[in-house]
Amino acid sequence: MFIYNTILIVAKIIFLVFNGRPEVYGLENLPEDRNVILAATHRSNWDPFLIANIIKPRSLSFMAKESLFDIPIFGTAMKKADMIPVDRENPGRQAIKSAIQVLEEGERDFGIFPSGTRHSTELKGGTAFIQRMSKKDIIPIVIQPPVGNKEFFGRKKAKIYFGEPIPFEVDVKYNKAKLAEVDQKLVEAFDVLDKELDPSYVYDPAVHSKNK
pLDDT in tens, 182-204: 999 999 999 999 999 999 998 87
- 191 near 161, Cβ under 8 Å? no
The Cα angle at residue 79 between residues 112 and 92, in degrees rounded to 5? 50
Predicted confidence (pLDDT) at residue 97 exceeds the cutoff of 60: yes
Q: How many residues does the chain have?
A: 212
Its pTM surpasses 0.85: yes
Contacting residues for 50 by C-beta, under 8 A, at least 6 apart = 15, 22, 143, 145, 158, 160
